[in-house]
Structure 1
């Protein structure tokens, strides 16, 4: 079965929010907005009520509807957003941030303008909190097509109230550029970072410090309505000399260097960003149960937990740390426990789910509760190298600069005993990118097949691709192949290629990307896939699922021969259950004047084509697909091994060795069984083949 697919590569995303200022939600919106914009998406933040406190990043489009919050109802919000849509255009997706009511507003606005778009909820606090505050409820969430939940608690609440909901777990991102690495914990000093507001319940912390037997200090970084009351409480408890109020700071985590732990006592949290950032620094977290750190804090491993409002138990934890009764916590363990919140991981995970949703696709394998860990796939790029010092840097640079991000790529280079500066270049790149580039050195020259097989042994990524070392790729090739593989899960995804001899092309994918997906349900499907892909028999320009290759060990590169990629490619065509082809020129093929296909040894290499093809036919017989693909195999051999090879050799060299010609002719007769009634042959080809078969 062949399906035609159209994907929106650069969707327009609206982020709809009722009110906003400077805080954790706003920081998450800015980080997500910048990331989406960097991926080519158009991002519009629409704030329904704006009172002059500008908080959005300057790179993100900011729009507001009303300049005062007085006397507005839900219908006003609906009318305001609908007017905006009619004036500024329809998004592919609207993310309703924070309030459940925003999903209802987005839906009713879409009805009013008579345009459909995807609506997603993105709650930042427990559903019950929004309900009690009058900001919406479960009935409003029913209008969302998809839900992005920043905690298991939020995801579970949505699942209970809306059983049919499509829910993805997403983590709030941590901006690692803000983090100050802590290698040694401070001495009896607590750190609090956040708004000084009633729900943060900071009085509990002050009271615990006051009754603890050990003498603790507290650094409070933040500002808010509760500041004066907290200062007064510290005086009443006679600990004001041990409590420092810093105020709001652009760089709050510089104070982590002095601290023993971050402390929290919140009445409620959606996702405790301060706790995640503290762990990323290497700082343990002391927190109560309602702070919602129980999803990331393991008691006495990366922090300590105490019951809500239990001043005595918090004080006992402080004393236990001070006198060594509690286990010492490793800063390295803290950092590792927060790894999945690193913005490099969380934002890409969020982006993939947004991209899929905006294209109307559902990533079933990533639904909550099936999967709560972020999407963090890697692509292994295998590059065999042999005397390519003139072109190698261009190839490597094109991979390093991929828009998918170097954190999602590992580059496996295999040097096949080069005699020029190829190995030196590889080792220099490995030194500069030790986390991403691996250099494998073969002990003796073995050829590209053995080099690629050696590279495959080192691959750790979920996906694998191959690049020839004198070629290069467009900056978005890997990202587009990967997104296509995720949205429409297939064993192999390929793209088109473009040849060049001088300057490297610079094409990028357009907003509308068209592709064809092949789902193999019967022999007719296999025949169609094979005949439509067999004439580009290279392995490059394709993304292979690693588990597909592992399940089919016959897919490998024959060694001590050329044309090894043809065997690998055809075995993949013979075993794949699904295949996708994108109409996008992402691979750049260099017309190397000294390449194999341009050397005077071409006659020998083309005989390798015969030997490799013969090996392939034997493999197809083992796979029990030879008979069903009989006509396809015969026709492809005729076109690649007879027509193209003989004509090429006759034009370029004096003669084609007669003994080689006879080998090809006899095998051609065998494949066709002496019968030219092949559905792919035209009448002139049939006449020519009859003459060839009748030759004496």
Structure 2
């Protein structure tokens, strides 16, 4: 039965995710707040794999799942999300990406806080996971002690440190009326950075938002061809989007607020620049990129940057002073340090795994058999040697 007035609309921009979208949709269908209270809008951005057929099959099974097939590929999530917003009927709206998953009680938790506080929006935390390694990762921004407690009906002037938190439209349940009152939409044509503009629009227009220190979104880190390395992507274009978003947002924030948001942007920039892939780009392009990001680095708060970027702070200082070659030299040292740290961690894990095996009961029990096998091999080699002599 189709919902007349759903409580919540979940909007998903979709492109070539046949391997993941079913798991994502099943996690939404299984929400404890009751799927009968949820409307799902899937905006297919001209997928070329089996994704459209999967979406259609879900829409046939569930009347509260709507699929919109675009006729031309947008190449960025902004327009599909805006189309989803235009068609949303829910009292509240949240976004999701079709290769991620939602904890079963996530929407119930957010809705409970929203209903109790009547906030403009309520947000939670992201937990990243990797299927290949089985590892999970909590983004460093949520480890700040400020983010370890609940906040009810606060605003960004009271808690400006929220602007340094990893931006994501997928962690925020928002009143539909609030979005429409302030005409909050996504910039279109940006392959990255659009979340920053959307998030800041929420913060700067909200008189009261709430936060719960609980994971309400599972972000999948992928190693497939859809997650290309920086050198395979147009790194300059990717970083330009970050810069564009930062400079646009700067106009709507005061000095203190921007100093925190600057941390958010610098984290995105440094993640891409302080990477081995960056050094594979030509020197000329690297210099152009540093020139391009200087306006974002300018006038950074040294105390705040020192708190979040102890190692990278000298690099940022050199860049701010327009010492580009020196900046690149220092950046190479950061890249090398990170690489050796990763290698050292891998070796440590391998050693610990070996030690665990050697200390296990099964290893000790089978020691006599391994000794016999070694002796047999040794006798065989000696025999071969004698025969050959």
TM (norm. structure 1) is 0.40
CA change 1:483–1:379 in 2 (3 A) is same
Partner in structure 1 of residue 263 of structure 2: 635
How far apart are 1:601 and its partner, in Å?
Answer: 5.3
CA change 1:606–1:519 in 2 (3 A) is farther
Partner in structure 2 of residue 559 of structure 1: 189
Partner in structure 1 of residue 218 of structure 2: 588
Task: Show the 5 A alignment for 1:603-622.
Answer: 603-604=233-234, 607-621=237-251
Partner in structure 1 of residue 343 of structure 2: none
1:631-654, CA deviations, whole angstroms, 9 ceiling, x for partnerless residues? 23443333321x222112xx2365
1:653-675, CA deviations, whole angstroms, 9 ceiling, x for partnerless residues? 652344554444335443454x4
1:592 alignment partner, SS class: coil
**Ranges in structure 2 where 5+ consecutive residues have no aligned partner:** 136-147, 325-389
1 or 2, which has the higher strand percentage?
Answer: 1
Cα distance in 2 for residues equivalent to 1:653 and 1:678 = 25
Is 2:147 the partner of 1:517?
A: no
CA change 1:468–1:695 in 2 (3 A) is same
Partner in structure 2 of residue 573 of structure 1: 203
CA change 1:605–1:455 in 2 (3 A) is farther
Which residue of the other structure, out of 459, 462, 468, is the alignment partner of 2:91?
A: 462
Cα distance in 2 for residues equivalent to 1:671 and 1:383 = 31
1:418 alignment partner, SS class: coil
How far apart are 1:428 and its partner, in Å?
Answer: 0.9
Is 2:15 the partner of 1:389?
A: no
Partner in structure 1 of residue 82 of structure 2: 453
How far apart are 1:584 and its partner, in Å?
Answer: 1.9
2:303 alignment partner, SS class: coil
How far apart are 1:689 and its partner, in Å?
Answer: 2.6
Contact 2:78 2:188 in 1 (8 A): yes
Cα distance in 1 for residues equivalent to 2:302 and 2:116 = 37
Which residue of the other structure, out of 660, 665, 673, is the alignment partner of 2:290?
A: 665
Cα distance in 1 for residues equivalent to 2:126 and 2:301 = 33
Contact 2:13 2:81 in 1 (8 A): yes
1:420-467, CA deviations, whole angstroms, 9 ceiling, x for partnerless residues? 111111111111112x01000100111322211111111011111111
1:284-340, CA deviations, whole angstroms, 9 ceiling, x for partnerless residues? xxxxxxxxxxxxxxxxxxxxxxxxxxxxxxxxxxxxxxxxxxxxxxxxxxxxxxxxx
Partner in structure 1 of residue 373 of structure 2: none
Is 2:72 the partner of 1:444?
A: yes
How far apart are 1:411 and its partner, in Å?
Answer: 0.3
Which residue of the other structure, out of 300, 304, 309, is the alignment partner of 1:680?
A: 304
1:679 alignment partner, SS class: helix
CA change 1:582–1:617 in 2 (3 A) is same
Which residue of the other structure, out of 469, 484, 489, is the alignment partner of 2:113?
A: 484
CA change 1:690–1:615 in 2 (3 A) is closer
Cα distance in 2 for residues equivalent to 1:537 and 1:450 = 18
Contact 2:156 2:204 in 1 (8 A): no
Partner in structure 2 of residue 530 of structure 1: 163
Cα distance in 1 for residues equivalent to 2:8 and 2:30 = 14
Is 2:125 the partner of 1:496?
A: yes
Cα distance in 1 for residues equivalent to 2:227 and 2:220 = 12
Is 2:50 the partner of 1:425?
A: no
1:101-150, CA deviations, whole angstroms, 9 ceiling, x for partnerless residues? xxxxxxxxxxxxxxxxxxxxxxxxxxxxxxxxxxxxxxxxxxxxxxxxxx
* Greater Rg by CA: 1
Contact 2:110 2:123 in 1 (8 A): yes
Task: Show the 5 A alignment for 1:260-339.
Answer: none
CA change 1:671–1:616 in 2 (3 A) is closer
1:583-617, CA deviations, whole angstroms, 9 ceiling, x for partnerless residues? 22231212222265444556525633433442442
RMSD between superposed Cα atoms in Å: 3.1
Cα distance in 2 for residues equivalent to 1:495 and 1:548 = 19
**Ranges in structure 1 where 5+ consecutive residues have no aligned partner:** 1-343, 346-375, 506-512
Contact 1:402 1:478 in 2 (8 A): yes
How far apart are 1:519 and its partner, in Å?
Answer: 1.3
TM (norm. structure 2) is 0.69
Contact 2:156 2:162 in 1 (8 A): no
Cα distance in 1 for residues equivalent to 2:33 and 2:121 = 18
CA change 1:666–1:606 in 2 (3 A) is closer
1 or 2, which has the higher helix percentage?
Answer: 2
Cα distance in 2 for residues equivalent to 1:661 and 1:653 = 8
